[in-house]
Amino acid sequence: MQRTNYKIFLIILVLAGLMTGCRQPQAPEYYGFQDLRFGRGEGQQATLGTTLKFYNPNSYGLQLKGAEMDVMLNGKPAGHSVLDSTVLIPKKDTFYVPVTMQVNLQGLLGNAIQIFLDRQVTVTLDGRIHLKKGAIPFSRPFHYEGKEDLNALLKGDY
C-alpha cells in the first residue's frame, strides 16, 4: 500500500516538473517607438520607418524570427508591416527592432487635421510575433494601443 502511494507521489512530482519546465516563454513587452522617418512613395503609398522598442521579461534569451502587424492611427488603417529577419533578444533586457512599411497616404491625410491640432495620435498595433527558444519555435499575438506625442515622435526623444 505504501509503495503505491510513493509511486503516485513520484508521478505527480514528475508531471508537475514537466508542466512548469515546458511553459512557453512570455511574449516581449512593447515599449514604444523612436526615430520616425518618412520616405518617398508612389501614388497613395509612402514609406515609413521607425525603430520599435521591446523588453524581454524572460530569464533567458530568445530569437525573433519574424513578425507582422497592422497599424492604425486614430482608429483608421494606416499600414501593414512584415519583418522577416532574425533579431537576437537578450534575457531581461530591452531590445530594438527596425521596421519599414508602406503606409496609406489617404489614411494619414484623413487624420492629418486632428493629429496636428491635438499634437497626439492614438496608435494601435495588432500583429503576431514569431519567436524561437533554442530549437522550439512558437508564435504569440500582440496588441498595443496608446497615445503618442507627435512632437516627441518627430524629434526621436524616446
What are the domain boundaries of the chain? 25-155
pLDDT of residue 94: 94
pLDDT of residue 146: 86
For 18-45, how does the pLDDT look when each residue is reduced to its tens digit (9 = 90+)?
444 556 677 788 888 788 787 877 777 8
pLDDT of residue 158: 44
Q: Is the pLDDT of residue 16 over 80?
A: no
pLDDT of residue 6: 65
pLDDT of residue 138: 85
For 91-128, how does the pLDDT look when each residue is reduced to its tens digit (9 = 90+)?
999 999 888 888 777 666 666 666 667 777 788 889 99
Higher pLDDT, 76 or 22: 76
Q: List Cβ neighbours of 52 (8 Å cut-off, separation of 6 or more).
A: 30, 32, 33, 96, 97, 98, 99
Q: What topology is assigned to 25-155 in CATH?
A: Immunoglobulin-like (2.60.40)
pLDDT band of residue 153 (cuts 50, 70, 90) is: low
pLDDT, average across residues 64-91? 87
Which set of grid coordinates corresponds to residue 73?
492611427
Residue 48's CB: how many other CB atoms inside 10 A? 20
Which set of grid coordinates corresponds to residue 158?
524616446
pLDDT band of residue 132 (cuts 50, 70, 90) is: confident
- With vertex at residue 47, the alpha carbon angle to CA 45 and CA 51, rounded to the nearest 5 degrees, is 145
